Chain A
Amino acid sequence: MLLTRLKAGGPAIAKQGILVAFVVFMIAFSLMSDRFLSADNIMSVFRQSAIIGVMALGVTIVVIGGNLDLSVGSMLSFATVLVVDLHDKIGPELAIPVMVLATLCLGAINGFLIGILRLNSLIVTLGMLSVIQGLVLIYSGGQNVDIADQRGTWFAMFGRGAVFGIATPIIIFGTLAVVFHVIMTTMPFGRHVHAVGGNPTASVFSGIPRSRVVFMTYLISALCVAVAAIILGSRVMGSQNNVGQGYELQVLAAVILGGTSLLGGSGSILRTVLGVLMLAFIQNGLILMGQPYYTQWLVTWAVIIIAVWLDVAAKRGRLFSPIA
């Protein structure tokens, strides 16, 4: 019986609900489409998932710290429009730092409102989602921005370049994932984030600067958005004002799929990477199979619930919730 096996034999497997689901999907897709497991396709999915992936790394850290960040979507629009617009005005070597600073400012506002003033993160970032969207539109006047010389600029290397045959976005995503994984698992800051998310009161009683830690998580999230914006801007060489619209939910879905608890205090960067890849492969696999795009939404629905369900079930040791 699944129930007993969950408890007794297979917690190692059941706790990796996402990994199981991932493998099942990979096998299923590769049976249905011979293109699916080709090196080209896998590379292409990795490259496509880099933007959402980089953002998901930051959001994972915010969520482990016990908060949410719904503003990353419009922040991405903001950062991309800014870096692309400034590229031709002041050159990429200045545009990038200016954009990063501006994005960090937005992160700092989030961090101030949530970390220092202790306002509810869901509502604050929901408000910021709207505010930042407005700011982008005001900044650009609603116009698309484009980089004129798309071939000549070294800015192209972030989204289009490759090192040793591996596309730069993948390298950036991979490097950041490893860096953040190391930070979260082996550095004092990571420990602090886990503690603050797990029990904010107890962490204050342990002398952890709770406000500063939460503030930092939002700065990190903003930094990730800035990096994602560089990849996106360089890949597209232009930007629309709503380019990041709806990304916040895709990012959150990936983080949730990775088993990070919305209650805070637990979660893993590497599993978030798995969540990101899972969503990207679902999307890619279904298109390869010639399914209409909306089937991916239906499949995502089922996958999110089943993966999180297995996760929760493994933790409580029984499949169904005990509540009557």
Chain B
Amino acid sequence: MTNKMKFLLASCSTVALAAAASADTVRIGITQNNVGIDSYQTTYEQAFIAAAEANPDVEVIVLDAGGDVARQISQVQDLIQQNVDAIIIWPTDGQALVPAVRNAHREGIPVVVTNSNIAEAGMEFIAAFSGPNNIQQGIYSAEMMCEALGGEGQIVQVTGMPGYTTAIERQKGFDDRLAEMCPGVTQLDIQPGDWNRERAQRTMETFLTRFDRIDGVYSGDDNMGVGALNAALAAGRAEGMVFIGATNFAVGYDAMARGEYWGSVYQSPVDDARAALQTALDVLAGEDVPKLNYFDTPKITQENMDQFDRPVF
């Protein structure tokens, strides 16, 4: 037991982020969705911690819900209990966090929602949202797809983990915009890839068997998109197939450079994290912060990719 305690203490001290507590230090707690599930979230966390360390007046408490809504709710409770100055939440589920956010609101602790937004019902309880506009990203992807196919074709879609907000919003943005803008493009089928490259690859392989003609593939992120691309390459059918993703990953960027991948949406976790922290600080400083703070997530395609740095994840 004593060994375990030492281990506990040791592991805590390695991440001790707290600057010496002083009177004007603000304490901000963050509970993230699922660090480690993909590089985006991990890079986000690192960027967030780095940004906080750079600011001597900020002390942060970094928690991770591991993708479990219930655990995230209890983490919000724990943060309220510790009486932090502000809470940043990356919701595991936009709906389910509303009461927790409402509780924080009642306790007078401002809440900033990051990355994926809380449901409509919770908007009145949050101080601000900071992050990408996932619906808009879906729309961007639909527009790129439409443009790449010239308004005609048959496509398939590989979505993220079923039931998660980001996956749902991107799909919704894409589906609605595509139907509206490009009635000539038909979606053959939609199946999940669980944010997992290998599973996306398997899904795509089945699509390839099932459909003789696939002109385009939209994937919920580049990680899955590259999985789909791998499947098409292996089947020798990648030629002429349009691959559109979202959240440009390094692998997607490289594939784009090779001309195999058509386009994606550029979304930097570093920007995301910095924006979240800054929004929280602005709120605490009493500034007038708008409710919705979307940071820019531009389209990235083979043509304009040299304007962007290769993603670090």
Residues of A within 8 A of B (CB): 33, 35, 38, 40-41, 44, 47-48, 51, 137, 140-144, 146, 160, 232, 235-238, 240-243, 284, 287-288, 290, 293-294
Contacts and interface: CB of A to CB of B under 8 A. Distances in A.
A189 B292 CA distance: 65
B11 to A, nearest CB: 10
A183 B162 CA distance: 41
A279 B192 CA distance: 17
B257 to A, nearest CB: 12
A142 B35 contact: yes
Nearest to A231: B198
B250 interface: yes
B210 A232 contact: no
Given A44-B205, A146-B250, A288-B209, A236 B230 contact: yes
28 contacts: A33-B210, A35-B210, A38-B209, A40-B209, A44-B205, A44-B208, A48-B202, A51-B198, A137-B35, A141-B42, A142-B39, A143-B39, A143-B43, A143-B313, A144-B313, A146-B251, A235-B201, A238-B197, A240-B37, A240-B196, A241-B37, A242-B36, A242-B37, A243-B198, A284-B206, A287-B210, A288-B209, A293-B191
Given A144-B223, A146-B250, A232 B45 contact: no
A281 to B, nearest CB: 11
Contacts of B248: none
A240 B23 CA distance: 42
Given A35-B210, A143-B43, A288-B206, A235 B250 contact: no
A33 B210 CA distance: 9
Interface string B222-263: 010011001000100000000000000111000000000000
B41 interface: yes
B203 interface: yes
A235 B42 contact: no
Given A38-B209, A142-B45, A144-B38, 15 more contacts: A137-B36, A142-B36, A143-B313, A144-B249, A237-B230, A240-B37, A240-B38, A240-B195, A243-B196, A284-B206, A287-B206, A288-B210, A290-B189, A293-B191, A294-B162
B38 to A, nearest CB: 6
B43 A293 contact: no
Contacts of B189: 287, 290
B197 A236 contact: yes
A165 B177 CA distance: 42
Nearest to B312: A143
Nearest to A136: B36
Nearest to A285: B206
Nearest to A290: B189
A294 B190 CA distance: 12
Nearest to B227: A236
A227 B198 CA distance: 16
A41 B37 contact: no
Nearest to A240: B38
Given A144-B223, A236-B197, A293 B37 contact: no
A244 B208 CA distance: 24
A290 B100 CA distance: 39
A41 B196 contact: no
Most buried by A among B209, B223, B250: B209
A78 to B, nearest CB: 13
Interface string B9-39: 0000000000000000000000000011111
Interface string B40-55: 0111011000000000
A137 B42 CA distance: 10
Contact of B198 (A160, A232, A287): A232
Interface in B84-99: none
A65 to B, nearest CB: 29
Nearest to B159: A293
Contacts of A47: 205
Contacts of B191: 287, 293
A235 B230 contact: yes
Contacts of B196: 240, 242-243
Contacts of B195: 240
A238 B251 contact: yes
Contacts of B43: 143
Interface in B288-308: none
Nearest to A294: B162
A38 B45 CA distance: 47
B198 A241 contact: no
A51 B202 CA distance: 11
Contacts of A232: 198
